[in-house]
Amino acid sequence: MTYSLYGPTISVVIPVHNGGDNFRRCLLSVKALRPSPDEVIVVADGDTDGSWKLAEEFDVRVLRKACSDGPAQARNLGAQSAKGDFLFFLDADVVVPSDIIERIVTSIQNDPDLDALIGSYDDEPFETNFLSQYRNLLHHYVHQTSNISASTFWGACGVIRRELFLKMGGFDKRYRYPSVEDIDLGYRLKKAGYKICLLKQIQGKHLKRWEVLSLLKADFFYRALPWTDLILNEGRFINDLNLKLSSRISVMAVFLLALTVIGAMFVPRLLGLSVFFMVLILILNRDLYHFFQNKRGLGFAVKTIPWHWLYFFYSGLAFSIGFAKYQIKSLGYRK
């Protein structure tokens, strides 16, 4: 692909549904970008709080949808309207540093074979409550310690060639809620032989406030269950991001820990096995817990452990449910 004398052109695409104050912060960060992107497109996905009016105040192009069909379709609509060589997808609750366009363009120019790139959240989450700090720092750690040669895409802060995005059919519109539509696209890109890179220096700040119910609902219903379907349909595990071997072993160890703790009420000798599984999980995840300690102190790190183990438990539960459904569906086809 040939670019202008000034390099590849970048179209920023932001889907929004009732973005509130966080959307304003997002737009302020986009307005401060130097150099500026070639265009900014906001797709108002059936919002009822006037997010589209706010976007117009920032002098960006606004596309309005009468009803909300989810971020996948909203991003697709923005991509179809965009003119840039590359699409820079950004979530409405993410703010970016002023030099991120420069970093993106430099990365593209340094690697002409690059088809898509993703970044990560930074290590200074906006919300200060424990769950928001824990969840966003966990995301930062996972991305920062993963392979540079990525196996998936990320819609919150991800860049892709526009022609390629349209050729691949964009995000799967069957995902009506924020889910794994970006992971699905990444799997399709890798299967087709395209190059995706995780560039760890490209980071955005997540503004979302996580509470107990919102975190569990998002992780279980919108991430773990649909991601299980993707894994089973692909027929293989990718040893990267949340699917690293150590994470899979941790999931099994957490389940065995739960079983031995329950069993110890009837057979006390099983407590020894419980201790073994506890130590195993701590060893497998020691680098993460050290990261938490370095960032927020020992007390914070200790507090993350039960939440992290709960994460392993419901991830394993979701996989078990998804696997059972997959097998039942397969039996139905065979008949």
Residue-wise DSSP of 107-160: HHHH-TT--EEEEEE-SS-S--SHHHHHHHHHHHHHHHTS-SB-SS--TTEEEE
Q: What is the mean pLDDT of the chain?
A: 93
Residue type, 260: T
Strand ranges across the sheet with 86-90: 61-65, 39-45, 10-16, 86-90, 157-161, 116-121, 196-206, 94-95
Read off the tokens for 136: 């966003």
The answer to whether 271 and 181 have CB atoms below 8 angstroms apart is no
The mean pLDDT value for 173-196 works out to 93
**pLDDT above 80: residue 241:** no
At residue 260, the pLDDT reads 96
Report the alpha-carbon distance of residue 319 to residue 296 in Å, rounded.
Answer: 31
Which of 16-20, 87-91, 200-204, 328-332 bottoms out in mean pLDDT, i.e. has the lowest? 328-332
Kindly report whether the global pTM for this prediction surpasses the value 0.85. yes
The mean pLDDT value for 199-206 works out to 96
Report the alpha-carbon distance of residue 240 to residue 38 in Å, rounded.
Answer: 33
Compute the CA torsion angle 11, 68, 139, 219 (nearest 10 deg): -160
Report the alpha-carbon distance of residue 225 to residue 219 in Å, rounded.
Answer: 9
Residue 167 neighbours by CB distance under 10 Å = 11
30 falls in which pLDDT band (50, 70, 90)?
very high
- Domain range annotation of the chain: 10-210, 241-334
Report the alpha-carbon distance of residue 285 to residue 290 in Å, rounded.
Answer: 9
At residue 242, the pLDDT reads 63
Q: What share of the chain is helix, strand, coil (3-state, %, to 5)?
A: 55, 15, 30
pLDDT tens string 45-88: 999 999 999 999 999 999 999 999 999 999 999 999 999 999 99
Q: From residue 201, give the alpha-carbon distance in Å to each of 104, 148, 173.
A: 10, 11, 30
Pick the CATH number of 10-210 from 3.90.550.10, 3.20.20.70, 3.40.50.2300, 2.60.260.20: 3.90.550.10
The answer to whether 224 and 315 have CB atoms below 8 angstroms apart is yes
Read off the tokens for 298: 């020992």
235 falls in which pLDDT band (50, 70, 90)?
confident
How much of the chain exceeds pLDDT 70, in percent?
Answer: 95
